[in-house]
Structure 1
């Protein structure tokens, strides 16, 4: 393990991250916030921490190995959250404990959107903007952003990209150079964000809310500048704009780029994962609509359809924005929505969960096993986009699925042991491990009522979900540390 090189990279990344505390200062100054000291102090403290880490080893120059990339990914997200929580800790109006500040910061970076804050409408604009900025930066992964700029500082990026990028197949690149790949993904991300901002502004949002909610939607985050989330606007057009961009954010950003590059929308439908993604959303939306109308929860068909589509899209893509309290819907629906968050978004998206491609392969494998029962000698291949998938990929996805269930069980039992009831424990772990943010029971509105242990415990769940389990779990194996 090249510890000095790792220390140098962490120092560089943290110093770069310190700059993210400057935009909230500008926003606060423009909006007339009376107190911006927490951000100035946070900026200086974060810059100092990064500089102290970097200075002793700034001459170290060696190529990274994949093993180093895994360690950097985990350390960076942990340390980033530790230094990123300083504005929350230093803001007198929040009076947050370390557990609360860390939870809020991790929730922002991992694009989970679970919050411990109450009275969000009255927060200083600088703090609200900072929360959204955390979402936006975490959406595509700060490490992927760093891959695009670190080569200029003498740091190679392929190992970092493979350790950070979500999805079961990580070696596919849009361009031969990983730096260019990262840049292209960010161009797509930025372009969609700007489109969302202008769409919101045209629909009636002010510029501040438009920018903040575009950050939240494109990162599939879920933070809002209002306690009532999107229900605050009570605007059907805003709801449909949000649905549209949540759908885009839950799709593979590489696919967005290929479609844009080749100017052919039909490429979307030719993608097996996209078809599965849309099919699940349509099926769940029709089910939710039928139940809402059948139980007379809502009587206006258009509103019932819009609310059903909004919440299905929001929860499945792990965004977590809401237009109404779905916890009071017919009992089947809230639970069905929670289960949809396990499917999550597509690989290569900003969404959380297990990912659509993995579920698609699991279903195809299950169907193949059933088909082989009466025909055990048959040779059947699992195909994605018309191409056979290697047995090694199928095997690794079964391993990931089994580990996901095991990790979920451990986190849920930990919450129950900490005193939470079963409904709260189940939904809170689903909300955090799937980076979705919306729970049931005692966390239906927010996570403020949980004890400190539960907040630290769920912060770990959010980090593991964001790094897709194995990046963290591999550090716990003796083989990883062996020379």
Structure 2
């Protein structure tokens, strides 16, 4: 393990992250809300931390190996989340305990969207902007951004990219050079953010709200500048804009790149995962719509369709935006939407969950096993499109699913042990491990009433979800630490 090389890069990345604390200070200056001092102090502290970590190793030059990339990724997200708590702790307008500050920071950075804060409408603009910005940087992964600039500093980035990017097919690159791949990802991400903010503004949001909600929409995070979330605006047009950009952000960004470079929208339909993603969401929305309609939950068909569409897409893509309390919807709908978040979006997107491609391949593997029961001597293959996948990929997906289930059970038992009821414990675990945010029971609105130890369990679940379980779990294996 190249510890000094890892510390050198970690220090540099913390230094890069420290500059993201300056935009909220500028927002505080523009709106005169008095929150700028906390962000300036946080910037100075984090810059000093980065320098102290980097300086003793500044002359170290080494290439990262796979193990180094995993360790650096976990360290960076953990340290970055800790540094991100500074503004929440230092600001006087938002008195939070250390536990609550850590929870809010990690929830933002991992794009979970769970919150312990109430009274958002009365908070300083700088704090509101900072929460949204955290989700925006966490959405694509600030490490992917760092990979784009690290080659200029003489540092290879492939190991970081493999550890950071979601999905089972991490070796597929859009361009020959990994730095170019990361740059293209961020160009697409930035374009979607600008387009989303412009659409929100034209639909009636203030530019501040439009930019903030664009950050959390494209990141599929779910944070809002208002307690009522998107329901504050009471606009079907804004709801539709949110749905469109959640769908775009839930698709593999490599497919976006292919559609742009080949100038063909058919790329979305030719991609098996994108096709399955649209089919699953369409079926889900129709089930929710007709169930709400049959129970006369809303006064007219148009409003029913608007609520069914937004909540289906928002919950299933793990965004968690709300225009209604879906936990109070009739019969099986709350659990159906919560279970939909287990699927999440496509691999290579900003969504959470297991990812559509994994669920799709697990389904096809199940079909293969059923066929083998009927014809034991026949040879069947699991295909993705026209390509037969090696058994190693299927084994890795089953391994991921097993590890995911183990983490889920451990976290849920921890929440039950600290006093949460069964429904709240189950939904909180699902919401945080899938990076969804809102749950059921006592965590339907926010997580303020969760005991302190329970919040630490959920922070761990957020990290496991954001790093796709294996990246973090591999550090607990003895093999990883053997030289």
TM-score, structure 1 normalization: 0.99
Instruction: Answer with 44-53 or 292-301: which moved more.
Output: 292-301
What are the Cα deviations for residues 220-248 of structure 1, in whole angstroms up to 9, with x where unaligned? 00000000000000001000000000001
Would you say the 8 A contact 2:35–2:93 is kept in 1?
no
CA apart distance, 1:360: 0.2
What are the Cα deviations for residues 27-75 of structure 1, in whole angstroms up to 9, with x where unaligned? 1111121231110110000000000000111000010001000000000
Alignment size in residue pairs: 483
Aligned partners of 1:251 and 1:196: how far apart in 2? 15
Q: Which stretches in structure 2 are left out of the alignment for 5+ residues?
A: none
Aligned partners of 1:380 and 1:304: how far apart in 2? 44
Aligned partners of 1:327 and 1:402: how far apart in 2? 28
Instruction: Say whether residues 1:355 and 2:355 are aligned partners.
Output: yes
Counterpart in the other structure of 1:236:
236
Q: Say which SS state the counterpart of residue 439 (structure 1) adopts.
A: coil
Aligned partners of 1:250 and 1:242: how far apart in 2? 12
Counterpart in the other structure of 2:219:
219
Counterpart in the other structure of 2:296:
296
Structure 1 outlier segments of 4+, above 4 Å: none
CA apart distance, 1:302: 1.4
Instruction: Answer with 383-392 or 464-473: which moved more.
Output: 383-392
Would you say the 8 A contact 2:85–2:102 is kept in 1?
yes
Instruction: Say whether residues 1:101 and 2:101 are aligned partners.
Output: yes
Counterpart in the other structure of 1:316:
316
What are the Cα deviations for residues 135-187 of structure 1, in whole angstroms up to 9, with x where unaligned? 00000001100000111122110000001110000000011100000000000
Aligned partners of 2:177 and 2:36: how far apart in 1? 41
CA apart distance, 1:288: 0.4
Aligned partners of 1:257 and 1:475: how far apart in 2? 33
Map 1:26-425; keep pairs closer than 5 Å.
Answer: 26-425=26-425
What are the Cα deviations for residues 411-463 of structure 1, in whole angstroms up to 9, with x where unaligned? 10110001100000000011100001011100100011111101111001001
Map 1:6-17; keep pairs closer than 5 Å.
Answer: 6-17=6-17
Q: Say which SS state the counterpart of residue 315 (structure 2) adopts.
A: helix
Would you say the 8 A contact 1:15–1:51 is kept in 2?
yes
Counterpart in the other structure of 2:471:
471
Q: Say which SS state the counterpart of residue 373 (structure 1) adopts.
A: helix
Instruction: Answer with 30-39 or 456-465: which moved more.
Output: 30-39
Aligned-residue CA RMSD (Å): 0.7
Counterpart in the other structure of 1:25:
25
Aligned partners of 2:301 and 2:273: how far apart in 1? 30
Aligned partners of 2:257 and 2:33: how far apart in 1? 39
Q: Say which SS state the counterpart of residue 374 (structure 2) adopts.
A: coil
Counterpart in the other structure of 2:455:
455
Q: Say which SS state the counterpart of residue 251 (structure 2) adopts.
A: coil
Would you say the 8 A contact 2:5–2:60 is kept in 1?
yes
Q: Say which SS state the counterpart of residue 234 (structure 1) adopts.
A: coil
Aligned partners of 1:140 and 1:390: how far apart in 2? 28
Q: Which stretches in structure 1 are left out of the alignment for 5+ residues?
A: none
Aligned partners of 2:382 and 2:442: how far apart in 1? 42
Instruction: Answer with 100-109 or 148-157: which moved more.
Output: 148-157
Q: Say which SS state the counterpart of residue 380 (structure 1) adopts.
A: coil
CA apart distance, 1:381: 1.4
Aligned partners of 2:134 and 2:254: how far apart in 1? 22
Q: Say which SS state the counterpart of residue 244 (structure 1) adopts.
A: helix
Q: Say which SS state the counterpart of residue 187 (structure 2) adopts.
A: helix
CA apart distance, 1:295: 1.2
Would you say the 8 A contact 2:35–2:126 is kept in 1?
no
CA apart distance, 1:383: 1.0
CA apart distance, 1:205: 0.5
Would you say the 8 A contact 2:25–2:35 is kept in 1?
no
Aligned partners of 1:389 and 1:187: how far apart in 2? 31
CA apart distance, 1:386: 1.3
CA apart distance, 1:299: 3.1
Aligned partners of 1:278 and 1:37: how far apart in 2? 46
What are the Cα deviations for residues 311-335 of structure 1, in whole angstroms up to 9, with x where unaligned? 1111111111011111110130010
Would you say the 8 A contact 1:293–1:299 is kept in 2?
no
Would you say the 8 A contact 2:109–2:138 is kept in 1?
yes
Counterpart in the other structure of 1:4:
4
CA apart distance, 1:466: 0.2
Q: Say which SS state the counterpart of residue 7 (structure 1) adopts.
A: helix
Aligned partners of 1:257 and 1:322: how far apart in 2? 30
Aligned partners of 1:267 and 1:257: how far apart in 2? 10
TM-score, structure 2 normalization: 0.99
